[in-house]
Structure 1
Amino acid sequence: MTKKHLITCSVILVLVIISRLNIFSTDPVYPVNYIAHTPSKLLFSLPAEAAEEAFSFADEALPVNDKKVDFKLKKSIAKHGYKNIQSNVLHSKADKMFPIIEPILKAYGIPEDFKYIPLVESGLKGGTSPKGARGVWQFMPGTARTYGLKVNKSIDERLNLRKSTIAACKYIKELYGEFNSWTLAAAAYNNGSIKLERAIHKQNEDNYFRMTLNRETGSYVYKIIAMKEIISNPAKYGYKNFYSYMQKPTPFLGLYNN
Protein backbone atom coordinates (compact mmCIF):
# COMPACT_ATOMS: atom_id res chain seq x y z
CA MET A 1 0.00 0.00 0.00
CA THR A 2 2.85 2.36 0.87
CA LYS A 3 4.46 1.69 -2.50
CA LYS A 4 1.23 2.56 -4.36
CA HIS A 5 0.89 5.71 -2.29
CA LEU A 6 4.41 6.82 -3.19
CA ILE A 7 3.75 6.19 -6.90
CA THR A 8 0.53 8.20 -6.75
CA CYS A 9 2.27 11.13 -5.00
CA SER A 10 5.11 11.04 -7.55
CA VAL A 11 2.68 11.18 -10.48
CA ILE A 12 0.80 14.12 -8.92
CA LEU A 13 4.08 15.96 -8.29
CA VAL A 14 5.23 15.49 -11.91
CA LEU A 15 1.88 16.73 -13.23
CA VAL A 16 2.09 19.84 -11.03
CA ILE A 17 5.62 20.60 -12.27
CA ILE A 18 4.61 20.17 -15.93
CA SER A 19 1.57 22.35 -15.40
CA ARG A 20 3.65 25.16 -13.90
CA LEU A 21 6.23 24.95 -16.70
CA ASN A 22 3.50 25.29 -19.32
CA ILE A 23 2.06 28.30 -17.55
CA PHE A 24 5.34 30.19 -17.49
CA SER A 25 6.42 29.27 -21.02
CA THR A 26 3.20 30.27 -22.74
CA ASP A 27 2.54 33.80 -23.98
CA PRO A 28 -0.37 35.46 -22.19
CA VAL A 29 -3.64 35.51 -24.11
CA TYR A 30 -5.36 38.88 -24.06
CA PRO A 31 -8.94 39.77 -24.95
CA VAL A 32 -9.45 40.85 -28.57
CA ASN A 33 -9.96 44.50 -27.61
CA TYR A 34 -6.91 44.62 -25.32
CA ILE A 35 -4.18 47.15 -26.25
CA ALA A 36 -0.76 46.79 -24.66
CA HIS A 37 0.48 50.23 -23.64
CA THR A 38 4.16 49.74 -24.28
CA PRO A 39 6.15 52.94 -24.76
CA SER A 40 8.02 53.11 -28.07
CA LYS A 41 10.82 55.43 -29.14
CA LEU A 42 10.60 54.36 -32.77
CA LEU A 43 9.69 56.84 -35.47
CA PHE A 44 7.43 54.17 -36.88
CA SER A 45 4.92 53.42 -34.13
CA LEU A 46 1.31 52.33 -34.44
CA PRO A 47 -0.92 53.02 -36.22
CA ALA A 48 1.05 51.81 -39.23
CA GLU A 49 -1.03 53.89 -41.65
CA ALA A 50 0.04 57.12 -39.98
CA ALA A 51 3.71 56.14 -40.03
CA GLU A 52 3.60 55.16 -43.68
CA GLU A 53 1.94 58.45 -44.56
CA ALA A 54 4.57 60.44 -42.69
CA PHE A 55 7.65 58.61 -43.98
CA SER A 56 7.52 57.23 -47.49
CA PHE A 57 9.23 57.58 -50.83
CA ALA A 58 7.16 57.89 -54.00
CA ASP A 59 4.19 56.40 -52.11
CA GLU A 60 6.27 53.30 -51.33
CA ALA A 61 6.13 52.89 -47.53
CA LEU A 62 9.07 52.15 -45.29
CA PRO A 63 8.92 49.01 -43.12
CA VAL A 64 7.03 49.93 -39.95
CA ASN A 65 8.63 49.41 -36.51
CA ASP A 66 11.95 48.26 -37.98
CA LYS A 67 14.77 49.30 -35.63
CA LYS A 68 17.45 49.43 -38.33
CA VAL A 69 15.30 51.56 -40.63
CA ASP A 70 14.33 53.79 -37.73
CA PHE A 71 17.96 54.35 -36.71
CA LYS A 72 19.17 55.14 -40.23
CA LEU A 73 16.37 57.62 -40.90
CA LYS A 74 16.80 59.37 -37.55
CA LYS A 75 20.53 59.65 -38.24
CA SER A 76 19.95 61.12 -41.71
CA ILE A 77 17.35 63.63 -40.48
CA ALA A 78 19.65 64.78 -37.66
CA LYS A 79 22.54 65.20 -40.10
CA HIS A 80 20.50 67.58 -42.28
CA GLY A 81 18.88 69.54 -39.45
CA TYR A 82 19.73 73.19 -38.87
CA LYS A 83 21.84 72.28 -35.84
CA ASN A 84 24.41 70.63 -38.13
CA ILE A 85 24.08 72.71 -41.30
CA GLN A 86 23.71 76.15 -39.68
CA SER A 87 22.30 77.76 -42.82
CA ASN A 88 19.20 77.87 -45.02
CA VAL A 89 21.10 76.80 -48.13
CA LEU A 90 18.95 73.68 -48.69
CA HIS A 91 15.72 75.66 -48.67
CA SER A 92 17.29 78.34 -50.83
CA LYS A 93 18.27 75.74 -53.43
CA ALA A 94 14.81 74.16 -53.28
CA ASP A 95 13.16 77.53 -53.92
CA LYS A 96 15.23 78.00 -57.07
CA MET A 97 15.08 74.46 -58.44
CA PHE A 98 11.69 73.01 -57.55
CA PRO A 99 9.52 75.34 -59.69
CA ILE A 100 11.53 74.17 -62.72
CA ILE A 101 11.91 70.51 -61.75
CA GLU A 102 8.34 69.74 -60.62
CA PRO A 103 6.47 70.27 -63.92
CA ILE A 104 9.10 68.27 -65.83
CA LEU A 105 8.80 65.33 -63.44
CA LYS A 106 5.02 65.47 -63.81
CA ALA A 107 5.23 65.55 -67.60
CA TYR A 108 7.33 62.38 -67.61
CA GLY A 109 5.21 60.58 -65.00
CA ILE A 110 7.96 60.60 -62.37
CA PRO A 111 6.86 60.86 -58.70
CA GLU A 112 7.42 64.31 -57.23
CA ASP A 113 9.65 62.92 -54.46
CA PHE A 114 12.46 62.63 -57.02
CA LYS A 115 12.81 66.42 -56.91
CA TYR A 116 14.82 65.95 -53.70
CA ILE A 117 17.55 63.99 -55.49
CA PRO A 118 19.35 67.16 -56.70
CA LEU A 119 19.53 68.38 -53.09
CA VAL A 120 21.13 65.08 -52.09
CA GLU A 121 23.36 64.84 -55.16
CA SER A 122 24.64 68.42 -55.32
CA GLY A 123 24.48 68.82 -51.53
CA LEU A 124 25.77 72.00 -49.99
CA LYS A 125 28.61 72.44 -52.47
CA GLY A 126 27.52 71.36 -55.95
CA GLY A 127 30.14 71.60 -58.68
CA THR A 128 32.06 68.66 -60.09
CA SER A 129 32.76 65.47 -58.16
CA PRO A 130 36.24 63.86 -58.02
CA LYS A 131 34.96 61.19 -60.46
CA GLY A 132 33.75 63.79 -62.98
CA ALA A 133 30.02 63.93 -62.23
CA ARG A 134 28.62 67.45 -62.69
CA GLY A 135 25.47 69.52 -62.31
CA VAL A 136 22.64 69.23 -59.79
CA TRP A 137 21.77 65.74 -61.09
CA GLN A 138 25.48 64.77 -60.97
CA PHE A 139 25.67 63.16 -64.41
CA MET A 140 28.87 61.52 -65.59
CA PRO A 141 29.81 62.69 -69.13
CA GLY A 142 28.96 59.37 -70.81
CA THR A 143 25.59 59.00 -69.07
CA ALA A 144 24.73 62.62 -69.87
CA ARG A 145 25.36 62.07 -73.58
CA THR A 146 23.35 58.82 -73.52
CA TYR A 147 20.27 60.76 -72.40
CA GLY A 148 20.61 63.63 -74.83
CA LEU A 149 22.89 66.19 -73.18
CA LYS A 150 25.76 67.89 -74.98
CA VAL A 151 29.04 67.62 -73.12
CA ASN A 152 32.17 68.86 -74.85
CA LYS A 153 34.90 71.49 -74.53
CA SER A 154 32.61 74.37 -75.47
CA ILE A 155 29.30 73.37 -73.83
CA ASP A 156 28.16 71.31 -70.86
CA GLU A 157 24.39 70.92 -70.66
CA ARG A 158 24.70 69.13 -67.32
CA LEU A 159 24.72 72.66 -65.90
CA ASN A 160 21.40 73.50 -67.58
CA LEU A 161 18.76 72.69 -64.95
CA ARG A 162 15.87 72.25 -67.36
CA LYS A 163 17.74 70.07 -69.90
CA SER A 164 19.49 67.99 -67.25
CA THR A 165 16.17 67.37 -65.48
CA ILE A 166 14.66 66.07 -68.73
CA ALA A 167 17.67 63.75 -69.12
CA ALA A 168 17.27 62.60 -65.49
CA CYS A 169 13.60 61.81 -66.09
CA LYS A 170 14.46 59.63 -69.08
CA TYR A 171 17.07 57.79 -67.04
CA ILE A 172 14.83 57.34 -63.96
CA LYS A 173 11.93 56.07 -66.08
CA GLU A 174 14.24 53.51 -67.67
CA LEU A 175 15.42 52.38 -64.22
CA TYR A 176 11.82 52.02 -63.03
CA GLY A 177 11.05 49.89 -66.06
CA GLU A 178 13.91 47.60 -65.06
CA PHE A 179 13.19 47.28 -61.32
CA ASN A 180 9.44 48.02 -61.13
CA SER A 181 10.05 50.02 -57.94
CA TRP A 182 10.65 53.74 -57.54
CA THR A 183 12.76 53.10 -54.42
CA LEU A 184 15.03 50.70 -56.29
CA ALA A 185 15.12 53.12 -59.23
CA ALA A 186 16.44 55.80 -56.86
CA ALA A 187 19.03 53.38 -55.46
CA ALA A 188 20.09 52.42 -58.99
CA TYR A 189 20.40 56.10 -59.90
CA ASN A 190 23.10 56.27 -57.23
CA ASN A 191 24.79 52.91 -57.66
CA GLY A 192 24.07 51.91 -61.24
CA SER A 193 21.59 49.28 -62.39
CA ILE A 194 24.18 46.54 -62.96
CA LYS A 195 25.54 46.64 -59.38
CA LEU A 196 22.06 46.81 -57.89
CA GLU A 197 20.86 43.90 -60.03
CA ARG A 198 23.79 41.81 -58.80
CA ALA A 199 23.01 42.66 -55.17
CA ILE A 200 19.36 41.67 -55.63
CA HIS A 201 20.28 38.27 -57.10
CA LYS A 202 23.04 37.63 -54.56
CA GLN A 203 20.83 38.44 -51.56
CA ASN A 204 17.60 37.10 -53.08
CA GLU A 205 15.97 40.30 -51.82
CA ASP A 206 14.35 43.15 -53.74
CA ASN A 207 13.26 45.35 -50.83
CA TYR A 208 15.74 48.21 -50.60
CA PHE A 209 15.20 48.66 -46.86
CA ARG A 210 16.07 45.02 -46.16
CA MET A 211 19.09 44.85 -48.45
CA THR A 212 22.75 45.18 -47.51
CA LEU A 213 24.35 47.68 -49.87
CA ASN A 214 27.48 49.79 -49.89
CA ARG A 215 27.55 52.68 -47.45
CA GLU A 216 26.59 55.42 -49.92
CA THR A 217 23.77 53.54 -51.66
CA GLY A 218 22.55 52.02 -48.39
CA SER A 219 21.91 55.50 -46.99
CA TYR A 220 20.85 57.17 -50.26
CA VAL A 221 17.06 56.79 -50.08
CA TYR A 222 17.14 57.67 -46.38
CA LYS A 223 18.81 60.95 -47.33
CA ILE A 224 16.09 61.67 -49.88
CA ILE A 225 13.34 60.97 -47.33
CA ALA A 226 15.15 63.08 -44.72
CA MET A 227 15.45 65.93 -47.21
CA LYS A 228 11.74 65.66 -48.00
CA GLU A 229 10.89 65.78 -44.29
CA ILE A 230 13.14 68.77 -43.56
CA ILE A 231 12.07 70.82 -46.58
CA SER A 232 8.40 70.10 -45.84
CA ASN A 233 8.62 70.80 -42.08
CA PRO A 234 11.47 73.31 -41.66
CA ALA A 235 10.51 74.77 -38.28
CA LYS A 236 10.35 71.28 -36.75
CA TYR A 237 14.06 70.84 -37.48
CA GLY A 238 15.30 74.25 -36.40
CA TYR A 239 15.01 76.24 -39.64
CA LYS A 240 13.60 79.73 -38.97
CA ASN A 241 13.37 83.17 -40.56
CA PHE A 242 13.30 82.06 -44.18
CA TYR A 243 10.87 82.33 -47.06
CA SER A 244 10.00 79.23 -49.03
CA TYR A 245 7.78 79.00 -52.08
CA MET A 246 6.41 75.80 -50.51
CA GLN A 247 4.71 78.01 -47.90
CA LYS A 248 3.33 80.53 -50.38
CA PRO A 249 1.49 83.61 -49.10
CA THR A 250 -2.04 84.16 -50.34
CA PRO A 251 -2.31 85.32 -54.00
CA PHE A 252 -4.19 88.52 -53.20
CA LEU A 253 -1.01 90.03 -51.73
CA GLY A 254 0.11 90.55 -55.30
CA LEU A 255 3.38 88.66 -54.91
CA TYR A 256 2.74 86.45 -57.95
CA ASN A 257 2.03 89.15 -60.52
CA ASN A 258 5.66 89.81 -61.33
Structure 2
Amino acid sequence: MKKIQVFGIVALLVLVSSLLIFASTEDKKQNKIGTAQYFPQQVDFAGEMAPLKIADVKERFDRELLVNANLHSSTILILKRANRAFPVIEPILKQYGIPDDFKYLAVIESALVNAVSPSGAKGVWQFMPDTAKEKGMEVNEGVDERYHLEKSTIAACKYLLTAKEKFGSWTLAAASYNGGMTGVNNKIIEQKVSDYYDLLLTDETSRYVFRILALKEIMKNPVLYGFDVSKYELYQNIPTKTVEVDSSISDLATFAKTQGINYKILKIHNPWLRDKKLSNLSKKKYIIEIPTEGY
Protein backbone atom coordinates (compact mmCIF):
# COMPACT_ATOMS: atom_id res chain seq x y z
CA MET A 1 0.00 0.00 0.00
CA LYS A 2 2.83 2.40 0.89
CA LYS A 3 4.54 1.72 -2.45
CA ILE A 4 1.32 2.56 -4.27
CA GLN A 5 0.98 5.82 -2.28
CA VAL A 6 4.60 6.79 -2.99
CA PHE A 7 4.16 6.01 -6.69
CA GLY A 8 1.02 8.14 -6.78
CA ILE A 9 2.78 11.07 -5.12
CA VAL A 10 5.74 10.81 -7.50
CA ALA A 11 3.42 10.66 -10.51
CA LEU A 12 1.55 13.72 -9.25
CA LEU A 13 4.78 15.63 -8.75
CA VAL A 14 5.94 14.73 -12.27
CA LEU A 15 2.60 15.92 -13.69
CA VAL A 16 2.71 19.20 -11.79
CA SER A 17 6.33 19.75 -12.83
CA SER A 18 5.46 19.11 -16.48
CA LEU A 19 2.55 21.56 -16.33
CA LEU A 20 4.76 24.24 -14.78
CA ILE A 21 7.43 23.77 -17.44
CA PHE A 22 4.78 23.95 -20.18
CA ALA A 23 3.27 27.10 -18.67
CA SER A 24 6.70 28.69 -18.37
CA THR A 25 7.47 27.86 -22.01
CA GLU A 26 4.16 29.32 -23.14
CA ASP A 27 4.78 32.45 -21.05
CA LYS A 28 8.14 32.90 -22.71
CA LYS A 29 6.54 32.52 -26.13
CA GLN A 30 3.89 35.03 -25.18
CA ASN A 31 6.51 37.44 -23.86
CA LYS A 32 8.38 37.22 -27.14
CA ILE A 33 5.37 37.57 -29.45
CA GLY A 34 2.68 39.16 -27.29
CA THR A 35 4.75 42.12 -26.14
CA ALA A 36 6.86 44.61 -28.03
CA GLN A 37 10.09 42.60 -27.75
CA TYR A 38 9.82 42.31 -31.52
CA PHE A 39 11.43 45.50 -32.80
CA PRO A 40 11.29 46.50 -36.49
CA GLN A 41 14.50 47.38 -38.28
CA GLN A 42 12.99 50.51 -39.82
CA VAL A 43 9.83 52.58 -39.58
CA ASP A 44 8.52 55.53 -41.53
CA PHE A 45 5.72 58.04 -41.39
CA ALA A 46 4.22 59.00 -44.75
CA GLY A 47 7.40 57.80 -46.46
CA GLU A 48 9.67 59.85 -44.17
CA MET A 49 12.03 57.48 -42.35
CA ALA A 50 12.49 57.68 -38.60
CA PRO A 51 16.26 57.69 -37.82
CA LEU A 52 16.30 54.71 -35.44
CA LYS A 53 20.11 54.75 -35.50
CA ILE A 54 19.90 57.73 -33.12
CA ALA A 55 19.68 56.31 -29.59
CA ASP A 56 17.15 58.88 -28.38
CA VAL A 57 14.85 58.23 -31.34
CA LYS A 58 15.06 54.46 -30.97
CA GLU A 59 14.27 54.62 -27.25
CA ARG A 60 11.32 56.96 -27.72
CA PHE A 61 9.84 54.66 -30.35
CA ASP A 62 10.52 51.61 -28.16
CA ARG A 63 8.66 53.25 -25.28
CA GLU A 64 5.50 53.82 -27.31
CA LEU A 65 5.70 50.37 -28.86
CA LEU A 66 5.93 48.74 -25.43
CA VAL A 67 3.16 50.87 -23.95
CA ASN A 68 0.66 50.31 -26.75
CA ALA A 69 1.49 46.63 -27.28
CA ASN A 70 0.58 46.08 -23.64
CA LEU A 71 -2.62 48.13 -23.56
CA HIS A 72 -4.39 44.94 -24.58
CA SER A 73 -8.09 45.80 -24.26
CA SER A 74 -7.63 49.32 -25.66
CA THR A 75 -5.61 48.13 -28.64
CA ILE A 76 -8.03 45.29 -29.42
CA LEU A 77 -10.92 47.77 -29.41
CA ILE A 78 -8.97 50.05 -31.76
CA LEU A 79 -8.38 47.15 -34.16
CA LYS A 80 -12.09 46.35 -34.14
CA ARG A 81 -13.16 49.97 -34.65
CA ALA A 82 -10.66 50.54 -37.44
CA ASN A 83 -12.52 48.07 -39.62
CA ARG A 84 -15.48 50.45 -39.49
CA ALA A 85 -13.74 53.83 -39.42
CA PHE A 86 -10.85 53.38 -41.88
CA PRO A 87 -13.07 52.73 -44.93
CA VAL A 88 -14.59 56.17 -44.28
CA ILE A 89 -11.31 57.97 -43.56
CA GLU A 90 -9.03 56.44 -46.21
CA PRO A 91 -10.79 57.64 -49.39
CA ILE A 92 -11.07 61.18 -48.01
CA LEU A 93 -7.34 61.29 -47.23
CA LYS A 94 -6.65 60.04 -50.75
CA GLN A 95 -9.00 62.59 -52.30
CA TYR A 96 -7.13 65.45 -50.61
CA GLY A 97 -3.66 64.06 -51.30
CA ILE A 98 -2.95 63.27 -47.66
CA PRO A 99 -0.78 60.17 -47.00
CA ASP A 100 -2.72 57.16 -45.75
CA ASP A 101 -0.59 57.05 -42.58
CA PHE A 102 -2.57 59.98 -41.19
CA LYS A 103 -5.40 57.61 -40.32
CA TYR A 104 -3.18 56.54 -37.42
CA LEU A 105 -3.15 60.13 -36.22
CA ALA A 106 -6.92 59.81 -35.76
CA VAL A 107 -6.28 56.60 -33.82
CA ILE A 108 -4.03 58.25 -31.24
CA GLU A 109 -6.25 61.33 -31.01
CA SER A 110 -9.43 59.49 -30.07
CA ALA A 111 -9.07 55.71 -30.33
CA LEU A 112 -11.58 56.13 -33.19
CA VAL A 113 -14.50 57.20 -31.01
CA ASN A 114 -16.17 60.58 -30.61
CA ALA A 115 -14.05 61.49 -27.62
CA VAL A 116 -14.28 64.66 -25.52
CA SER A 117 -11.07 66.07 -24.07
CA PRO A 118 -10.81 68.10 -20.85
CA SER A 119 -9.92 71.15 -22.98
CA GLY A 120 -13.11 70.85 -25.05
CA ALA A 121 -11.76 69.16 -28.18
CA LYS A 122 -14.32 66.74 -29.60
CA GLY A 123 -14.81 64.04 -32.17
CA VAL A 124 -12.55 61.45 -33.77
CA TRP A 125 -10.17 64.20 -34.97
CA GLN A 126 -10.40 66.21 -31.72
CA PHE A 127 -11.15 69.71 -32.97
CA MET A 128 -11.56 72.70 -30.71
CA PRO A 129 -14.69 74.78 -31.49
CA ASP A 130 -12.93 77.77 -33.09
CA THR A 131 -10.63 75.63 -35.25
CA ALA A 132 -13.61 73.54 -36.37
CA LYS A 133 -15.50 76.65 -37.45
CA GLU A 134 -12.42 77.98 -39.27
CA LYS A 135 -12.32 74.72 -41.26
CA GLY A 136 -15.97 75.00 -42.28
CA MET A 137 -17.75 72.89 -39.68
CA GLU A 138 -20.97 73.92 -37.99
CA VAL A 139 -20.68 73.97 -34.20
CA ASN A 140 -23.59 75.02 -32.01
CA GLU A 141 -25.98 73.58 -29.44
CA GLY A 142 -28.05 71.72 -32.00
CA VAL A 143 -25.45 70.65 -34.55
CA ASP A 144 -21.80 69.82 -33.94
CA GLU A 145 -20.07 68.55 -37.07
CA ARG A 146 -16.95 67.65 -35.11
CA TYR A 147 -18.93 64.44 -34.46
CA HIS A 148 -19.44 63.94 -38.21
CA LEU A 149 -16.65 61.60 -39.32
CA GLU A 150 -16.64 62.56 -43.00
CA LYS A 151 -16.78 66.31 -42.40
CA SER A 152 -14.24 66.29 -39.60
CA THR A 153 -11.87 64.19 -41.73
CA ILE A 154 -12.16 66.78 -44.52
CA ALA A 155 -11.39 69.53 -41.99
CA ALA A 156 -8.35 67.59 -40.77
CA CYS A 157 -7.13 67.27 -44.37
CA LYS A 158 -7.39 71.02 -44.85
CA TYR A 159 -5.33 71.64 -41.73
CA LEU A 160 -2.69 69.10 -42.70
CA LEU A 161 -2.30 70.50 -46.22
CA THR A 162 -1.64 73.95 -44.75
CA ALA A 163 0.84 72.51 -42.24
CA LYS A 164 2.68 70.53 -44.93
CA GLU A 165 2.99 73.66 -47.06
CA LYS A 166 4.40 75.54 -44.08
CA PHE A 167 6.91 72.94 -42.86
CA GLY A 168 7.65 70.94 -45.99
CA SER A 169 7.42 67.74 -43.95
CA TRP A 170 4.52 65.42 -43.22
CA THR A 171 6.15 64.46 -39.91
CA LEU A 172 6.23 68.07 -38.77
CA ALA A 173 2.69 68.55 -40.06
CA ALA A 174 1.62 65.66 -37.83
CA ALA A 175 3.51 67.09 -34.84
CA SER A 176 1.85 70.46 -35.36
CA TYR A 177 -1.56 68.79 -35.09
CA ASN A 178 -0.67 68.39 -31.43
CA GLY A 179 1.71 71.26 -30.76
CA GLY A 180 0.15 73.83 -33.08
CA MET A 181 1.80 75.35 -36.13
CA THR A 182 2.95 78.40 -34.20
CA GLY A 183 4.29 76.32 -31.31
CA VAL A 184 6.29 73.97 -33.54
CA ASN A 185 7.56 76.82 -35.71
CA ASN A 186 8.78 78.72 -32.65
CA LYS A 187 10.80 75.68 -31.54
CA ILE A 188 12.32 75.37 -35.02
CA ILE A 189 13.42 79.01 -34.91
CA GLU A 190 14.71 78.81 -31.33
CA GLN A 191 16.66 75.57 -31.80
CA LYS A 192 17.86 76.21 -35.37
CA VAL A 193 16.89 72.75 -36.64
CA SER A 194 14.13 71.76 -39.03
CA ASP A 195 13.65 68.03 -38.40
CA TYR A 196 11.07 66.71 -35.91
CA TYR A 197 13.55 64.12 -34.64
CA ASP A 198 16.09 66.85 -33.80
CA LEU A 199 13.68 69.09 -31.90
CA LEU A 200 13.30 69.27 -28.13
CA LEU A 201 9.54 69.68 -27.71
CA THR A 202 7.01 69.44 -24.90
CA ASP A 203 6.62 65.92 -23.57
CA GLU A 204 3.27 65.39 -25.29
CA THR A 205 4.40 66.64 -28.70
CA SER A 206 7.72 64.83 -28.33
CA ARG A 207 5.83 61.54 -27.91
CA TYR A 208 3.14 62.33 -30.47
CA VAL A 209 4.67 61.09 -33.72
CA PHE A 210 6.17 58.07 -31.96
CA ARG A 211 2.71 57.10 -30.77
CA ILE A 212 1.52 57.28 -34.38
CA LEU A 213 4.47 55.15 -35.50
CA ALA A 214 3.79 52.60 -32.75
CA LEU A 215 0.09 52.24 -33.56
CA LYS A 216 0.87 51.99 -37.26
CA GLU A 217 3.38 49.21 -36.59
CA ILE A 218 1.03 47.28 -34.29
CA MET A 219 -2.05 47.69 -36.47
CA LYS A 220 -0.22 46.60 -39.62
CA ASN A 221 1.32 43.60 -37.84
CA PRO A 222 -1.12 42.75 -35.03
CA VAL A 223 -0.23 39.07 -34.68
CA LEU A 224 3.45 39.91 -34.08
CA TYR A 225 2.35 41.84 -31.01
CA GLY A 226 -0.12 39.28 -29.67
CA PHE A 227 -3.34 40.65 -31.21
CA ASP A 228 -5.02 37.91 -33.22
CA VAL A 229 -8.49 39.34 -33.85
CA SER A 230 -10.66 37.32 -36.22
CA LYS A 231 -12.62 38.93 -39.05
CA TYR A 232 -15.83 37.95 -37.27
CA GLU A 233 -14.85 40.04 -34.23
CA LEU A 234 -14.25 43.25 -36.20
CA TYR A 235 -16.91 45.97 -36.06
CA GLN A 236 -18.75 46.28 -39.34
CA ASN A 237 -20.22 49.27 -41.15
CA ILE A 238 -24.00 49.02 -41.07
CA PRO A 239 -25.73 49.72 -44.42
CA THR A 240 -27.63 53.00 -44.44
CA LYS A 241 -29.74 55.15 -46.68
CA THR A 242 -29.64 58.95 -46.68
CA VAL A 243 -32.51 61.31 -46.06
CA GLU A 244 -32.09 64.97 -47.02
CA VAL A 245 -33.87 67.56 -44.89
CA ASP A 246 -33.98 71.31 -45.47
CA SER A 247 -36.38 72.33 -42.72
CA SER A 248 -36.61 72.14 -38.95
CA ILE A 249 -37.47 68.90 -37.16
CA SER A 250 -39.39 69.66 -33.98
CA ASP A 251 -38.99 66.20 -32.43
CA LEU A 252 -36.20 63.85 -33.53
CA ALA A 253 -37.77 60.91 -31.68
CA THR A 254 -40.93 61.26 -33.78
CA PHE A 255 -38.83 61.74 -36.92
CA ALA A 256 -36.92 58.53 -36.12
CA LYS A 257 -40.20 56.60 -35.83
CA THR A 258 -41.29 57.83 -39.27
CA GLN A 259 -38.05 56.33 -40.63
CA GLY A 260 -38.67 52.96 -39.04
CA ILE A 261 -36.04 53.32 -36.32
CA ASN A 262 -35.88 54.71 -32.80
CA TYR A 263 -34.25 57.80 -31.29
CA LYS A 264 -31.24 55.87 -29.98
CA ILE A 265 -30.42 54.42 -33.40
CA LEU A 266 -30.87 57.82 -35.05
CA LYS A 267 -28.36 59.40 -32.65
CA ILE A 268 -25.86 56.54 -32.98
CA HIS A 269 -25.73 57.00 -36.75
CA ASN A 270 -25.91 60.80 -36.64
CA PRO A 271 -23.96 61.83 -33.54
CA TRP A 272 -23.60 65.38 -34.92
CA LEU A 273 -27.28 65.92 -34.02
CA ARG A 274 -26.77 67.22 -30.48
CA ASP A 275 -30.30 68.21 -29.44
CA LYS A 276 -33.71 66.56 -29.29
CA LYS A 277 -34.73 68.67 -32.27
CA LEU A 278 -33.13 70.20 -35.35
CA SER A 279 -33.63 73.95 -35.72
CA ASN A 280 -33.08 74.97 -39.32
CA LEU A 281 -34.39 78.48 -39.96
CA SER A 282 -31.89 79.03 -42.77
CA LYS A 283 -33.23 76.01 -44.73
CA LYS A 284 -29.78 74.44 -44.82
CA LYS A 285 -29.60 70.98 -46.39
CA TYR A 286 -28.64 68.25 -43.94
CA ILE A 287 -27.99 64.61 -44.83
CA ILE A 288 -29.25 62.17 -42.21
CA GLU A 289 -28.11 58.53 -42.20
CA ILE A 290 -30.80 55.93 -41.64
CA PRO A 291 -29.68 52.30 -41.15
CA THR A 292 -31.43 49.78 -43.38
CA GLU A 293 -30.33 46.62 -41.56
CA GLY A 294 -28.33 45.39 -38.58
CA TYR A 295 -29.91 47.67 -35.98
- For 1:86, the equivalent position in structure 2 comes to 73
SS of the residue corresponding to residue 166 of structure 2 reads helix
Q: Does structure 2 retain, via aligned residues, the 8 Å contact 1:89–1:124?
A: no
Shift of the 107–244 alpha-carbon distance from structure 1 to 2, 3 Å rule, reads farther
Change (3 A) 1:101 1:244: farther
Taking the aligned partners of 1:226 and 1:211, their CA distance within structure 2 comes to 19
Structure-to-structure mapping, 1:164-183, within 5 angstroms: 164-183=152-171
Report the equivalent of 1:216. 204
Pairing 1:57–2:42 present: no
The SS at the match of 1:86 is: helix
Q: Give 1:90 shift.
A: 1.1
Which one-letter code corresponds to 2:182 in the other structure? Answer: I
Q: Which runs of no fewer than 5 residues in structure 2 stay unpaired?
A: 1-36, 235-295
- Runs of at least 4 residues off by over 4 Å: 41-44
Q: Is the 8 A contact 2:57 2:197 kept in 1?
A: yes
Contact 1:77 1:226 in 2 (8 A): yes
| CA distance 1:112–1:67, change in 2 (3 Å) | same
* Deviations 1:124-153 (CA, angstroms, capped at 9, x unpaired): 875210100000100000000000100001
Q: Which one-letter code corresponds to 1:110 in the other structure?
A: I
- The letter for the 2-side match of 1:184 is L
Partner of 1:243: 231
| 1:138 paired residue number | 126
Partner of 2:286: none
Structure 1 distance, partners of 2:157, 2:102, is 9
Task: Give yes or no for the alignment of 1:227 onto 2:215.
Answer: yes
1:94–1:42 distance in 2 versus 1, CA, 3 Å: closer
RMSD: 2.3
The residue type paired with residue 103 of structure 2 is: K
Indicate whether 1:114 and 2:102 are aligned.
Answer: yes
Once the two structures are TM-superposed, the CA of residue 241 in structure 1 deviates from its matched residue by: 3.4
Which one of the candidate residues 79, 99, 105 is aligned to 2:87?
99
Could you tell me which amino acid in structure 2 is paired with residue 86 of structure 1?
S
Identity of aligned residues (%): 42
1:76 lines up with 2:64 in the alignment: yes
Equivalent pairs, count? 198
Greater Rg over alpha carbons, structure: 1
1:227 alignment partner AA: L
State TM-score, norm by structure 1.
0.72
The CA distance in 1 between the partners of 2:197 and 2:113, in whole Å, is 28
Aligned counterparts of 1:162 and 1:216: Cα–Cα separation in 2: 27
Stretches of structure 1 lacking an aligned partner (at least 5 in a row): 1-40, 45-50, 247-258
- After superposition, the Cα gap between the structure-2 partners of 1:213 and 1:245, relative to the gap in structure 1 and judged at 3 Å, is farther
Q: Which amino acid aligns with 2:157?
A: C
Counterpart AA for 1:231:
M
**Does the 8 Å contact 1:234/1:240 carry over to 2?**
yes
Structure 1's 109 and 153: CA in aligned 2 closer, same or farther, altered over 3 A? Answer: same
User: 2:139 maps to which residue?
Assistant: 151
2:123 is paired with a residue of what secondary structure? coil
- Give the structure 2 partner of residue 128 of structure 1: 116
Task: Answer yes or no: is the 8 Å Cα contact 1:42–1:65 preserved in 2.
Answer: no
SS in 2 for 1:80: helix
| Distance apart, 1:86 and its partner CA | 3.0
Instruction: Tell me which residue corresponds to 1:18.
Output: none
Contact 2:175 2:209 in 1 (8 A): yes
Distance change (3 Å), C-alpha of 1:232 and 1:42: closer
Is the 2:164–2:173 contact (alpha carbons within 8 Å) kept by the matching residues of 1? yes
Is the alpha carbon distance of 1:245 and 1:116 closer, same or farther for their aligned partners in structure 2, counting shifts above 3 Å?
farther
TM-score normalised by length of structure 2: 0.63
The question of whether the paired residues in 2 share the 8 Å contact of 1:43 and 1:70 is answered with: no
